[in-house]
Amino acid sequence: MSESAATGQPKLRRALGLTGLTFFGITYMTVVTVFTTYGIVNKVTHGHLPAAYIMAVVAMLFTAASYAAMVRKYPVAGSAYTYAQQTFGGGVGFITGWVMLLDYLFIPMINFMLIGIYLNTQFPAVPVWVFTLAALLIVFAFNVLGIKLVNGANYTVVALSVLLVVVFFALALKSALGGDMSVGVLEPFSFGEGGIGSIASGAAILALSFLGFDAISTLSEEAKNPRRDIPRAIILATLVGGLLFILVSWSGALAYSPDWSALSKAEIEAAGVTVVTHIGGEVLATFFVAIYVVGCFGSGLTAQVSVSRILYAMGRDGMLPSPLAKLNKRFGTPYIATAVVSVFALSSLFASLDAVAFMISFGALTAFAVVNLAVIRTYVFPSGGRAEKIRVTQILRYLVCPLIGFALTIWLWSALETTTWIIGGVWVLIGLAIIAYVTRGFKKPVPKLDFSEAE
């Protein structure tokens, strides 16, 4: 008799196979994400967004393989933080989790910014900051009250997003094949006038499109065969999601390729609306904005729920000030932690979209680099020095591939803007200072950072 059966405790149902897990990952990435940085990356790459996506997919596949390897070893939640903590110890684990926290703090912010930018295209008389601030306040209120979006509504938004992308792809190809092709068929896949450096810079930004690696790994207790199917689903979701990103960006480039360097900042940030309008007219553009804004609101809401609970857990565990662990007596929500996230998100009123996108990619690429190294440490150089004889195929899987993934990640990492490195460096120093304070000058063990959902 199982332990759960003996104790009478409820148990998650193992109902998800490889197909279900893969679909979950693709849904989590959501193909409409391609429009989030559509103008930014096109400007950086001089109109060669598909080439940047190809480079990003190649780099992400090696990293996805490393995530898959670590999931087999540690089929639990926590993602890069867990892998770093288990492999390199509490100090490296905390810094990895700390950088991931920066990532999580910027994700709600970028959604608030996008809501303001895209609604302003439909209501130009209303300033962008008004929509951004309204979205921020509504999400804050929802989180304090404990209201969550209904799952059915989320699935509806996802379904409409997929429909939107399919219609966009079809209309873009029809426009291009009908004689309105703005560039050659293969031109978007070339390096262009900026060379491989500009493509790498674009690919670095696109790392934020692949933040769903760990989403599949959280379903370990609901997968029929987690150690076999979850690693496969991670790779498949990366391949399928990446292919969809490439196809959408390629079809868009064929139908509409302006001089991106000549466009204004506002035109670059709202490029998704511009290209949709060019291809499908005002009706499609209005539908696009409506679906995109609803999707951003849902994403911002769930992202703020997650990060506020992480801050709550850190306050409860003594890694951050204890007031963060206070719960609202009536609604049972971490209202102080939620308020801190909202105050941080106020910077979305004056920050630029590309700067926020760079910061999210900084956090993602940091985690990706650590996970690649964790595979090598775990499988090739295990703790205790008990190196076992491994086969050639294992050397390729657990040493060569992670090294390539690490090198590609560092390459993309180095392509980020200088400002991004400065902010990221300051954030890491703050994390080191917190460790020094909590451990009384590194004399005590580093507490484990709880990334589980607080009850």
**What CATH number should be reported for the domain holding residue 174?**
1.20.1740.10
Residues in CB range of 14: below 8 A, 6 or more apart: 221, 222, 223, 224
As for how many domains the chain has, the answer is 1
pTM, 2 dp: 0.81
The region that residue 192 occupies, defined by phi over 0 for left and psi between -120 and 50 for alpha, beta otherwise, is: left
Q: How many CA atoms lie within 13 A of 372 on its CB side?
A: 23
Three-class secondary structure of residue 107 per DSSP: helix
Task: Answer whether residue 455 is part of any domain.
Answer: no
Task: Answer whether residue 453 is part of any domain.
Answer: no
Task: Answer whether residue 2 is part of any domain.
Answer: no
Task: Answer whether residue 10 is part of any domain.
Answer: no
* Token pair recorded at residue 106: 């910027």
Task: Answer whether residue 91 is part of any domain.
Answer: yes
Q: How far is CA 74 from CA 84, 193, 376, 378, 386, in A?
A: 11, 45, 15, 11, 19
Q: Tokens 């690693």 appear where?
A: 231
* Token pair recorded at residue 45: 């790459």
Query: What residues are paired with 16 via a beta bridge?
Result: 223
Q: Tokens 């897990």 appear where?
A: 21
Contact present, 439 and 395 (Cβ < 8 Å):
no
Cα-to-chain-centroid distance, residue 145:
26
* Token pair recorded at residue 241: 């999601």
Its domain, for residue 160, covers: 21-438
Q: Which residues of the chain have pLDDT under 70?
A: 1-15, 28, 76-78, 146-155, 157-158, 179-182, 213-215, 217-222, 317, 331, 383-390, 447-455
**How far apart, in whole angstroms, are the C-alpha atoms of residue 183 and residue 450?**
50
- Return the CA Rg of the chain: 22
Q: Is 393 exposed, middle or buried (0-12, 13-18, 19+ CB in 10 A)?
A: exposed
pLDDT at site 13: 59
**How far apart, in whole angstroms, are the C-alpha atoms of residue 316 and residue 314?**
5
pLDDT at site 100: 81
* Token pair recorded at residue 111: 């959604």
**How far apart, in whole angstroms, are the C-alpha atoms of residue 405 and residue 299?**
28
Task: Answer whether residue 98 is part of any domain.
Answer: yes
Task: Answer whether residue 13 is part of any domain.
Answer: no
pLDDT at site 154: 56
Task: Answer whether residue 418 is part of any domain.
Answer: yes
One-letter amino acid for residue 357 of the chain: A
